[in-house]
Amino acid sequence: MSVQPEQREALTNVFDAITQQMRTIADAVTPLIKQMYDAIYGEYQKAGSPYGESHEGCLRWLGERYEAQRLYDEAERILDHHKGLVYLRKRLAERRHNQKEDDTQVRDE
């Protein structure tokens, strides 16, 4: 299938328009991304730059901080789950105890 010159020009115009829009978006968000990175790098420096004054060191530190937070959140979830299980076991034990008392009273009557 061959592309006619008019179709080729129309496709070229569409791709040019898309490319221009992408450049506009990239130009708009680049300063924000740079600002965010500078803030993160500042925190890395405040932490003493444990992996050296480098982009790679900062990224490693950031990844490890993320993983540490993820593990902390998971540990909190597990501890909360344990508390819920303890509560449930207490309520079930109370219910069994009350049921036994009710059964005993019925037999005594």
Question: Domain ranges in the chain?
Answer: 1-46, 54-109
Cβ-based neighbour number of residue 61 at 10 Å: 20
In this predicted structure, what is the pLDDT of residue 103? 72
pLDDT tens, residue by residue, 23-53 = 999 999 999 999 999 999 999 999 999 999 9
Sign of the alpha-carbon torsion through 24, 25, 28, 31: negative
On average, the pLDDT of the chain sits at 93
